[in-house]
A and B are shown apart, each in its own frame.
Chain A
Amino acid sequence: MSNMIFPPILHNNGDQHSGIGYVVGGGLKENLRVRLTVPAQEVQEGSFVIIDSADWRFYGLVTDLQLGATDPRFADEQSETRLPGGLSALLHGQTLYTNLEVMPALMLEIGPEPGSPRYEAWRKAQMGDPQPIPIKTIPAHHAPVRRAEAGDVAEIFGDPKEKGNFIIGHTREQGHPVCLDLERFVQRSAGIFGATGTGKSFLTRILLAGLIHHDHAAVLIFDMHNEYGPDDTASDTNQKVPGLRSKFPGKVRMVGLGRDSTVRGMVPDFQLEIAEKDITPADIEMLTRELNLRETTPTTLSALVHEFGQINWFREFREMRPGATIETEEGKKIPAPDSVEAWAMRAGVNAIAATGLHQKLTRLFNLPYVVDRPAADTTGEIINSLEAGRHVVLSFGQHERDLDYLLVTNLLTRQIRERWEHSTNEFRSGKSSKEPRQLIIAVEEAHKLLNREMAAQTTFSTIAREMRKYYVTLLIIDQRPSQIYDEVMSQLGTRICGWLGDDLDIQAVLSGLAGKDTLRGMLARLQPKEEVLLLGWGVPMPIPVRSRRYNDQFWRDLKGEAFESARKESDIMKELGF
């Protein structure tokens, strides 16, 4: 027994499952205020908290912590220097406090206490198990607030043991697994954003591995920097990073661009060559900025198609000789019949515009992978592979210029779109019984294809806006979301966002979301690495998570899941008597 009347109070950090406070005010618009009953350092911004009030359970996110005092003088004066430790601790406990701001996101009817007389009546009145719904009311004053436990996180984000729930990361404080429902995730376009060096590529690898492993959709990855298909070395740690091709040899096909292409020393499964006949005037117009084309280009292209047809115009134009002349019998030099100028005169097109276009298209004419007759129908093979349930990584190898990326992605995606639209229409009209396979097209450096200028011209914006109905969605990976066209951003279902420094980028990521003002600060204060904020339609509520690490453990867990599901399947078969 201490002889001191007010012995110093030793802070008990307490049990992880204990309450952290109680509701003291707030509302739906201004968030809830919660008086903290544990030291402020035990709760962080972004904590997932649970509030039970009467028959309802509320799920919320801590968005702010504020110091307060019942009288400002208690805060101004350092009473611990004036009063004995125990006494000042008692004083501080009563007069100085921390308030949490909690953004309520979801609510779930839990009903009366099980075993109580009201419970049975309530249970009978329920049609199945109640599901969490968006917040529509608020908890009462003094409703207790506690940290979410693993079961609470699973209740909202899905049970990690259930098939289709993929662990994308863990809650920051307690480390409870947070899952993405992959089936839901693939139904709408999604985006992964973050400044350079925030682990975007690793997170994308993790997510793609999950999608491939769970096989909810076929995945086509436009791998501009050859990161996803082949094995790689991490730029910061110099450690070996396994690629998707080597981890899923039976499921993933790696495609190189151009004949004899290799990707980081690996020989791809097949090489993509683009047939000249597949290039349309629209593909050229889309390159207006990249090739610095003039406003006369559409007229010239139209004349070319008119004269040579949709299939031959590119080859014919390539073979023309700009500036070629012949000498007449009178010794006068005139454009040669196979010259650009001669064709321009025949077609009634401005000769200078035509020669200018020819000169600018020389970059295309010289592309080694654009050929008159490809060795095989590789484009068709890619599409067939995707339809057959395989996944394709298109590695650009040496062809890492924007021109290559813009041309190939757009051309290939256009053909995919046509095929999937056709298949869907066949299926919906009953002509085919085969439902099209859900397809995700992963696009790196998405702002190059989906910026304000390009969005109207490329197939990608159409996919983001409309192709959900045709089983095709996008996975956009970018570091400058503000450069992506607003209309496309607003269509993104799930947004996974790492640290962003630019206000405009933050604003773009949060566009169209409820509570964006509240989430803005949270996004700006994420750790520069390995922390992401999950947002949007694909997740039940926003939540910051510590993302999974792309390492051996990840692969062990993923493969372990495979083993687990196989075992369960065999058990089920046994139970059924097979």
Chain B
Amino acid sequence: MAELEIGRLLRASTTACVVGCRVSQANAPAFGGLVRIPLDDGYGIYGLIYDIRIEDDGLVRQLVTAERIDEDVIQDNRVNRNVPVEVSVLHVGYRQAGQIHHLLPPRPPLSLDAIYICGPKEACAFTEAGRFGYFRHVLRAADLPVGELLAAHIQLLHRYHAERDNCGWSSSAVQELITLMRDDYPTLMTVLGALSDISA
């Protein structure tokens, strides 16, 4: 499996972590994509990208007020910037002794641990394990754009699963979402509204 590193850990808790990326690395992570943080002894944490943040620094603040900025300057600022691109990741499960669990990891990763994008095979393995237990973590996070996040995730994973002749995955996923959210009409309709935008 070709591993694509997107950055290293800035800070973490049991439920989430923030990864710092260089701009050159920032094209790979996508909103709603799955990442993996391999740790020792076959233990690794899976996460879902729910936010990608680009903070400003002093130089950028000066440059944005300039009348005209050279392309070289823009490129220099992006490539050699001091402040990393921050990718926020929601912990959605972990792997231990070859077994995938849709539970919060026993312990968070440590700073500067490398983070990798999950390829189609790994993403499919994670999302097929169990019965969509990782949706719990997404739905519990009240301050996330849940509808958009799930729509992006399902759109991406539908493509991976369809390539593996598992077209029913997305329907099963949505069915599970409806089951989990049918007592919360406003949220469910928000999620379904977002999903309807990707389903055409």
A residues in contact (CB < 8 Å) with B: 1-2, 4-6, 70-71, 73-74, 79, 82-84, 86-87, 90-91, 93-95
Contact = CB atoms under 8 A, between A and B. Distances in A.
Given A5-B155, A82-B196, A83-B196, A71 B174 contact: no
Interface in B154-190: 154-155, 158, 162, 165, 167, 170-171, 174-175, 178-179, 182-183, 185
Given A1-B165, A5-B158, A91-B178, A86 B192 contact: no
A67 B154 CA distance: 31
A71 B185 contact: yes
A75 to B, nearest CB: 11
B198 interface: yes
Interface SS of chain B: helix, strand, loop or mixed?
A: helix
B174 A90 contact: yes
Interface string B48-73: 00000000000000000000000000
B123 interface: no
A94 to B, nearest CB: 4
Interface of B: 154-155, 158, 162, 165, 167, 170-171, 174-175, 178-179, 182-183, 185, 192-193, 195-196, 198-200
A94 B196 contact: no
Given A6-B171, A91-B192, A86 B182 contact: no
A71 B182 contact: yes
B175 A4 contact: no
Contact of A6 (B162, B182, B193, B199): B199
B162 to A, nearest CB: 7
A96 to B, nearest CB: 10
Given A2-B167, A74-B182, A94-B182, 17 more contacts: A1-B165, A1-B167, A6-B195, A79-B192, A82-B193, A83-B192, A83-B193, A84-B200, A86-B171, A87-B174, A90-B171, A91-B192, A93-B175, A94-B178, A94-B179, A95-B178, A95-B182
A87 B158 contact: no
A87 B171 CA distance: 8
Contacts of B200: 4, 84
19 contacts: A4-B199, A4-B200, A5-B155, A5-B170, A6-B195, A70-B182, A70-B183, A71-B182, A79-B192, A83-B192, A84-B200, A86-B171, A86-B199, A87-B195, A90-B174, A90-B178, A91-B178, A93-B175, A94-B175
Contacts of B182: 70-71, 74, 94-95
A6 B200 CA distance: 8
Residue with the greatest number of chain A CB neighbours at <10 A, chosen from B155, B182, B193, B198: B182
Given A1-B165, A70-B182, A94-B182, A84 B199 contact: yes
B141 to A, nearest CB: 22
B183 to A, nearest CB: 7
Contacts of B170: 5-6
